[in-house]
Structure 1
Amino acid sequence: MSRGRSPEPLDFFIWTVQDVGLWLEEINLGSYRQAFEENGVNGEYLESLSVFTTEQILRFIRRCHMKWGDFITLCKELRRIKDGCCLKWPPFCLATREKRWHCWEQQSVD
């Protein structure tokens, strides 16, 4: 990731702590940037939030001094990024192959 550039959403699971900080600024949660940096929150950590227990989530919120509403915003923005990643799937090369297969199946049935 280049310094000062926004992190690429499709690569969020490999974001550095600095990338996460830039993203927090973009989603208007920049006030938590220092707390996230102090706690080493990177993209891999953000990805793991989805499997955290309630106790782990509450511990994270306390450690980063987050308001509950801001945590919800964080989760919604993460979901938006993850959904965006899925929209890019399958890659063009596979999509083309699937399309050809579907056309071939249709011709076989006729």
Structure 2
Amino acid sequence: PGDEKHVMYVWVDALTNYITGVGYPDEKADNWRFWPADAHIIGKDIVRFHAVYWPAFLMSAGIPLPKRVFGHGFLFNRGEKMSKSVGNVIDPFTMVDHYGRSEE
């Protein structure tokens, strides 16, 4: 960090958050049991990064791959793609308060 001669590809940095979030490189960390993920769920606009680059990064490091990658379509709100930057997303906590947390 701080050395202008060394640059990290943004997707290497972004994607490593999935494994550092569960404790990597400490494979004895409590949350490491959640890796590899049963399902890696991503938006269709970033499939290439998550289904091509990410597995390649993991394989090169000898880290197990997610069991499956699911790229989903976009959700629309009044004909417009839902986006945090647009501000038209639905607050999941509001939905839980209204409908509850039951899986039934």
TM-score normalised according to structure 1 size: 0.29
Higher fraction of helix = 1
Higher fraction of strand = 2
Q: Which has the larger radius of gyration?
A: 1
TM-score normalised according to structure 2 size: 0.30
Tell me which of the two structures has the higher relative contact order, counting C-alpha pairs closer than 8 angstroms and 6 or more residues apart: 1
